[in-house]
Structure 1
Amino acid sequence: MAENTTSAPQILPETDASPSNPSSDPSTEEQNPPVEHATQITEDTDISTLSAAQNLLELTSDVQRPLIAEIAPIDELRAEYENGSPSFVQQINYLQSQGYSSIRRTRGDGDCFYRSVAFAYVENLLHASDPVFAVVAALSTLEATPKLLESVGFERMVFEDFYEVLIELVKNVIAPDVSGSTLTDVALLERFQNPEVYLRMLTSAQIRLDPDNFAPFLFHPELGEPMEIREFCEHFVDAAGKEADHVQMTALSRILRINVDVAYLDGRGSSGQVDFVKFQPEETSGAAASSPISLLYRPGHYDILVGPRRQTAEF
């Protein structure tokens, strides 16, 4: 799978593994519509027996699920596929062999990409080898973003609260809050409240600010028709619950100056190897370059993939 790793600005083309390119043939589905049966989904349901749409919408979007869950061993994910999806099991085994032995699950409501990046962004600062340097670099980037948002038409009153939530979390990594405490893993889980909204706005701003690079890749995800930048952003970036694809991932990694590695768990291929798509902006700080955010993609949903440097005893 192609990687966005060159220094010149590039956007990855759509691939068969992307959310907007399902493997099934739409024309076949229209001629032979599937028969729908009511299915009761519970935490104990074997997801290998469900369709991709059921997996995403019913298993991960439960409003009772936390926005971000505790770190869990990837064995739990493997167990969900062992009764019927050997190709997925192979891929999970491959990830574990590469040192990815745990995940953080996110609520699957269409905001899971932005939510995962937002949480992992702050979590990486917490566990940076030099937290002070990492936080200072992050603040330098973040504190310049309100003016960028205003320059493309966002009103400060719309984004200010979301911005403050994210900024305070970042600052609290090294600076005590009003209670005299700095941020911890437990506190981050407790205080994490929708900073992904701000990341959506940042993604939209980056696309609008760089029309030459993004405009050629803006297509309606269902119709495949080209879209104007403003229309694309309003319908598929700004709006809550809209899934992210390569364009959005590229834009967000650039404006935050972070590296994002996405592992595609799609059950394809016979070797069990997992393809990683790497989003690497032209300019990244030393901290960002050494600590990429790793995400696990299953068709239509993103979780946080925990790599070797973050193995913990939380479970």
Structure 2
Amino acid sequence: MMTELTSPPRDSNPDEDQGAEQANQPPQHPTEINEDTDISTLSAAQLYELNQNLLDQTADVQRPLIAKIAPMAELRAEYERGSVSFVKQIDYLEGRGYSSFRRTRGDGDCFYRSVAFAYVEKLLQSDDPAIAAAAALSTLEQTPIVLESAGYEKMVYEDFYAVLEELVKNVATLDDYGNPTLTDEMLLEAFQDPQTSNSIVVYMRMLTSAQIRLDPDNFAPFLFHPELGEPMEVREFCEHFVDATGKEADHVQMTALSRMLRINIDVAYLDGRGSNGQVEFVKFQPEETMEVIVSSPICLLYRPGHYDILVGPTA
């Protein structure tokens, strides 16, 4: 059953709540965050800051847009001095077969890049890559029509579309030994190339935007400014927070892209707030009438402000 689209929780407006805060005098959030900090006392903004600090500490300006697979132990080591709660959640994931992950550069496009890479990788890893790629192509070949219905001109999207289409076609094309002409190594190289990788990200954003624009009745009630919390019109939201590169994705964008590409996306929320170290998995699925392209879901690892690819037991 498809998970119903819901608005993610947002912090209340500080100006609106100032009077209530003064009257009730709630406990203040800690000013210093260390390994002894109770994660449940942190606000969403502080959780975001905590993760961003850890990401900054491990960031490298030369880090590839998509990296090779790394063990979860590497991620665990980054949090051992930062938060026991995060370490418990990482252990929880490892205990359920999620032994590794693939980093994506934290540039605001990480959700779209992660989904696009994992999407093509799933085709390569399927039991019959040629059949899986053919099914994916049948869906992709309809997307230019959808984009034009949403108001995009051909000259705007065609070059970006061609890059993604070529990758998928190379999965469907077999060599003399019956293997796809696109290998795992070639796929990684393609997504590490800025021109190729960013072209696909732009097309992913266009698809997401088109889905929202063409289905306003379902999406409009959930469109809010991510910082101000104010309702936004469909066109304004798409122009500022979907079409524009470097803008992070949330539930609305995830739902829209899963429907457009007919894929299941599972997002594991590594936020330090799980009970006894548990990690919540939020599922984004196409409509029930749609047949999914690949049977196993794309699995992402979310830390406030960032998405990586989670490699699990079904990968």
Q: TM-score range by the shorter chain?
A: 0.7 to 0.9
* Residue 16 of structure 2 is aligned to residue 11 of structure 1: no
CA distance in 1: counterparts of 2:58 and 2:208, whole angstroms: 24
- What are the ranges of 5 or more consecutive residues in structure 2 without an aligned counterpart? 23-27, 32-46, 192-196
CA distance in 2: counterparts of 1:133 and 1:303, whole angstroms: 27
Any conservation in 2 of the 1:294–1:305 contact (CA below 8 Å)? yes
- 1:278 Cα shift? 0.2
Give 1:42's aligned residue. Answer: none
Residues 124-166 of structure 1 deviation map (CA, whole Å, 9 limit, x = unaligned): 0000112122111101110000011111111211111111111
* Residue 169 of structure 2 is aligned to residue 171 of structure 1: yes
- 1:22 Cα shift? 5.9
* Residue 210 of structure 2 is aligned to residue 216 of structure 1: no
- 1:286 Cα shift? 5.2
Any conservation in 2 of the 1:150–1:156 contact (CA below 8 Å)? yes
Give 2:248's aligned residue. Answer: 243
* Matched residue count: 281
Give 2:182's aligned residue. Answer: 183
CA distance in 2: counterparts of 1:202 and 1:168, whole angstroms: 17
Q: Which has the higher helix share?
A: 2
Residues 223-263 of structure 1 deviation map (CA, whole Å, 9 limit, x = unaligned): 11111100000001000000000000000000101000000
Give 1:151's aligned residue. Answer: 149
Q: Determine which of 120, 123, 130 is the counterpart of 1:122.
A: 120
* Residue 68 of structure 2 is aligned to residue 70 of structure 1: yes
Give 1:54's aligned residue. Answer: 53
- 1:176 Cα shift? 5.2
- 1:197 Cα shift? 1.1
CA distance in 2: counterparts of 1:256 and 1:199, whole angstroms: 9
| Cα RMSD after superposing both structures | 2.8
CA distance in 1: counterparts of 2:185 and 2:137, whole angstroms: 22
Give 2:36's aligned residue. Answer: none
Give 1:304's aligned residue. Answer: 309
- 1:266 Cα shift? 0.3
Farther off after superposition, 60-69 or 210-219: 60-69
Tell me the TM-score normalized by structure 1. 0.82
Give 3-state SS (helix, strand or coil) of 2:161's partner: helix
Give 1:38's aligned residue. Answer: none
Residues 39-94 of structure 1 deviation map (CA, whole Å, 9 limit, x = unaligned): xxxxxxxxx9x7333335x3576441101000111110011111231111110111
Q: 1:140 to 1:55 in 2, by over 3 A?
A: same
Aligned-residue identity in percent: 70
Give 3-state SS (helix, strand or coil) of 2:314's partner: helix
CA distance in 1: counterparts of 2:240 and 2:78, whole angstroms: 34
Q: Determine which of 255, 258, 266 is the counterpart of 1:253.
A: 258
Q: 1:176 to 1:251 in 2, by over 3 A?
A: same
Give 1:141's aligned residue. Answer: 139
CA distance in 2: counterparts of 1:205 and 1:124, whole angstroms: 24
- 1:190 Cα shift? 0.8
CA distance in 1: counterparts of 2:267 and 2:310, whole angstroms: 9
Give 3-state SS (helix, strand or coil) of 1:84's partner: coil
- 1:307 Cα shift? 1.0
Q: Determine which of 105, 109, 117 is the counterpart of 1:111.
A: 109
- 1:13 Cα shift? 2.3
Any conservation in 2 of the 1:74–1:102 contact (CA below 8 Å)? yes
- What are the ranges of 5 or more consecutive residues in structure 1 without an aligned counterpart? 16-20, 36-47, 311-315
Q: 1:63 to 1:25 in 2, by over 3 A?
A: farther
Tell me the TM-score normalized by structure 2. 0.82
Give 1:291's aligned residue. Answer: 296
Alignment of 1:38-49 (within 5 A): none
Give 2:194's aligned residue. Answer: none
* Residue 229 of structure 2 is aligned to residue 230 of structure 1: no
Give 2:94's aligned residue. Answer: 96
